[in-house]
């Protein structure tokens, strides 16, 4: 398992999207590598303490078919709980947290740094390739802006290897954007809790039952520092993220293809300078061609609300 695969698997573990075989592989990697155990512990403890109650809200299932798929995913929870025991056993730490439900009024606003949210800017055609060089522009693996029934949308065309490992496996078709968050520092540094939500519409235009299944995902990672430096090592530096959030859904086509909303949330720490947002379509059998897979209506929303009582104890 390479480091990019490991970090991707940790994110999928946190969202309950691993198969039993993938869980065994993750356990093996943790047993064999102390550095991976450290990264896993950091991510898992942060997730348990800060993200779980938001992630339960972030995945909105729009149809009975997707509800059945989610039920299948939740059936893995006992295995995931067993895997989480690795962290407690290795580090001897525990997390104590409580979520109260006072009556508050949350304030939400769109983040202005997100560019081309509806893929309507410019002419139809391919997006830029590679990891983004500047903020506010889409780039990544092979994908194109095309005209569909609802207007201009993004079509996932072909998976690509990571730029830092050009000879590596092409696992998924990933599209990224860098978003400058420095204008949000006042909100993140105040007494209120600041939370970012990344959401997007996805559509699997294939016929129902089409193989292989495809995983759509939205992911958001918050970093401090210079985006140009991050670009040089992406995705090997995912472990440096200050906060993250992700949401996934598995599809096999639909009798009547429709658009479905998927959202991921993460808290904004005071030191966050920029966000990496990611949209992806991953075939779950490789190699595989992508066809009729689309994304649209991306939104990045900042919500502020009173801080929640979270504490860590040894």
Contact between 294 and 216 under an 8 Å Cβ cutoff? The reply is: no
Q: Which of 112-116, 234-238, 292-296 has the highest mean pLDDT?
A: 292-296
Cβ–Cβ < 8 Å for 240, 35: no
Residues 99-121 have pLDDT tens digits of 333 444 567 788 888 999 999 99
List pLDDT tens digits, range 180-214.
998 887 665 665 688 999 999 999 999 999 988 99
173-180 vs 274-283, strand pairing mode: antiparallel
pLDDT of amino acid 30: 83
Residue bearing the bigger pLDDT, 22 or 264: 264
pLDDT at 90: 34
Instruction: Please give the average per-residue pLDDT across 25-37, as a whole number.
Output: 83
Per-chain mean pLDDT for the chain: 77
**For residue 271, pLDDT beyond 60:** yes
Give the long-range contacts of residues 182-191, CB within 8 A, separation 24 or more. 182/273, 182/274, 183/112, 183/113, 184/111, 184/268, 184/272, 184/302, 185/270, 187/268, 187/302, 187/304, 188/268, 188/269, 188/270, 188/272, 189/270, 190/304, 191/306, 191/307
- Interval 120-151: pLDDT, tens: 997 899 999 999 999 999 999 999 999 999 99
For domain 3-313, is the CATH number 2.60.120.260? yes
Q: With bands split at pLDDT 50, 70 and 90, how would you rate the model's confidence at 63? A: very low
Q: What is the CA angle 275-276-278, rounded to 5?
A: 140
Indicate if the pLDDT at residue 299 is higher than 90: yes
How much is the pLDDT for 25?
82
Residue 87 has pLDDT above 50, yes or no: no
pLDDT at 85 over 60: no
What percent of the chain is modeled with pLDDT above 90?
Answer: 42
Q: Where is 261: in which H helix or E strand?
A: strand 260-267
**Residue position matching structure tokens 């993250």:** 244
- Cα distance between residue 101 and residue 194, in whole Å: 17
């Amino acid at each position: 398992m390479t480091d990019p695969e490991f970090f991707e698997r940790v994110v999928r573990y946190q969202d309950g999207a691993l198969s039993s075989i993938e869980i065994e592989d993750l356990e093996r990697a943790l047993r064999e590598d102390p550095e991976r155990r450290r990264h896993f512990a950091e991510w898992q403890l942060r997730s348990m303490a800060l993200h779980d109650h938001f992630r339960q809200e972030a995945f909105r299932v729009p149809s009975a078919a997707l509800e059945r798929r989610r039920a299948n995913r939740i059936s893995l929870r006992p295995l995931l709980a067993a895997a989480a025991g690795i962290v407690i056993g290795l580090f001897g730490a525990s997390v104590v947290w409580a979520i109260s439900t006072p009556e508050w009024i949350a304030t939400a606003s769109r983040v202005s740094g997100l560019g081309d949210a509806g893929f309507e800017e410019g002419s139809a055609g391919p997006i830029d390739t590679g990891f983004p060089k500047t903020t506010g522009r889409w780039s990544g693996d092979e994908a194109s802006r095309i005209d569909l029934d609802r207007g201009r949308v993004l079509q996932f065309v072909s998976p690509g290897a990571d730029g830092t490992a050009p000879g590596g496996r092409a696992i998924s078709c990933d599209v990224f954007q860098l978003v400058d968050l420095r204008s949000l520092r006042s909100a993140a540094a105040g007494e209120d809790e600041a939370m970012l939500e990344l959401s997007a519409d996805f559509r699997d235009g294939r016929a129902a039952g089409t193989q292989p299944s495809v995983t759509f995902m939205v992911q958001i990672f918050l970093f401090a520092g210079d985006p140009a430096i991050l670009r040089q090592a992406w995705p090997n530096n995912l472990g440096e993220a200050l906060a993250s959030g992700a949401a996934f859904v598995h599809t096999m086509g639909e009798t009547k293809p429709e658009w479905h909303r998927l959202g991921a949330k993460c808290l904004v720490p005071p030191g966050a300078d920029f966000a990496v947002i990611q949209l992806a379509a991953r075939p779950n059998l490789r190699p595989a061609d992508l066809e009729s897979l689309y994304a649209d209506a991306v939104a990045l929303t900042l919500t502020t609300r009173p801080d929640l009582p979270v504490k860590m104890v040894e």
